Amino acid sequence: MDVARLAGVSPSTVSRILNGTARVSEDKRLAVLAAIAQMNFAPNQMAQALKKGRSMTIGIVVQDISSAFFDENLRGIDDGLKGTGYASVIVSGHWNPEEEAERIRLLLGRKVDGIILLSGRMSDEAVRAFSLQRPIVSTGRELHTRSALGIKLDNEHGAWMATHHLIELGHRRIAFIAGPPNNLDAEERLAGYRRALREADLPFDPKLVVEGNFIESGGLLAINHLFETQQQFSAVFAANDQSAYGVRLCLYRKGIRVPDDISLVGFDDLPGSSYTTPPLTTIRQPLYEIGLLSTNALLRLINGETVDTQVPPLELIVRETTRRVR
């Protein structure tokens, strides 16, 4: 009201100018801007958002809130929201498509302005259907509609890089600790492992592939299985860093030196991988950057803008768990 009085216009005119919807003379617009500057006035962001029918919240569906993998995604999302006025509501889907859908319905009931779905097993069709109600950005899938965007990394190529690195070091018997069944990331990493062997004219031995579950205990059990079945190998590629941590513990308990006796490669480059003993060679996923990219893309979708994302590439990080075969 004071701004309107000082500028000599009506309060509704001030409101329309602030919202960018007013068609007024240049003199009136400049008078309002001068009054705002003179009074050091800052419009109430939430009040403006409510007028536009927005809650200034976004929903985030993670799969495991205890996972360091999702911690890095969330750190990127948090930084992406700084200064935007948006707050986040975080829920967990526990790698269950029905639970993911239930959590999304819960978020929609809370009138979030958009949703970020981190990985998960919900179908593309379900994501597209939910995006008709609120914009959705989902990682780990290829998807592009007016209200839904998928952000996907090249897992197959990352696994190829990991296996190729071991082959270049002279390894010919490379064990693979796979991810869980019916998981797209796990399937693509197995495909990359097999492609690297094929291109090097090395035979694929299914006895060297053991199913894991993307957590430490699964890696430990999988490598134990290889020893119990007396498989011969000089290197291990674990489908993610957490599995590699379990492998490393098993090797330590058996007195097997890394990398002197067996080389080890992971996938993710979690923060702790720089501090394992020895530091882990791995494929770096830009987890923080994906969180930041997802946030920026979602805010653009919320504002009705077009989105053109450039996904950062995966990178081989060579540390101290791999060495050339003697």
- Which DSSP symbol is given to 313? P
pLDDT tens-digit map of 66-104: 888 889 999 999 999 998 889 999 999 998 999 999 999
Q: How far apart (Å, rounded) are the C-alpha atoms in residues 36 and 182? A: 58
What does pTM read for this prediction? 0.81
Q: How far apart (Å, rounded) are the C-alpha atoms in residues 208 and 215? A: 19
Do residues 185 and 259 lie in contact, with contact meaning Cβ atoms separated by under 8 Å? no
Handedness of CA 177, 183, 186, 187 (dihedral sign): positive
Beta-strand relationship, 174-178 and 209-211: parallel
116: closest CA among 306, 293, 286, 270? Answer: 293
The one-letter amino acid code at 105 reads R
Return the structure tokens found at 102. Answer: 């239930």
pLDDT tens-digit map of 29-50: 777 777 766 666 555 555 555 5
Q: Model confidence at 22, in pLDDT bands (50, 70, 90)?
A: low
239: closest CA among 194, 271, 283? Answer: 283
| Residue 152, burial from CB neighbour count under 10 angstroms (0-12, 13-18, 19+) | middle
Q: Model confidence at 26, in pLDDT bands (50, 70, 90)?
A: confident
Measure CA 119 to chain center.
7
Helix axes 216-228, 241-253, angle to 10 degrees: 50
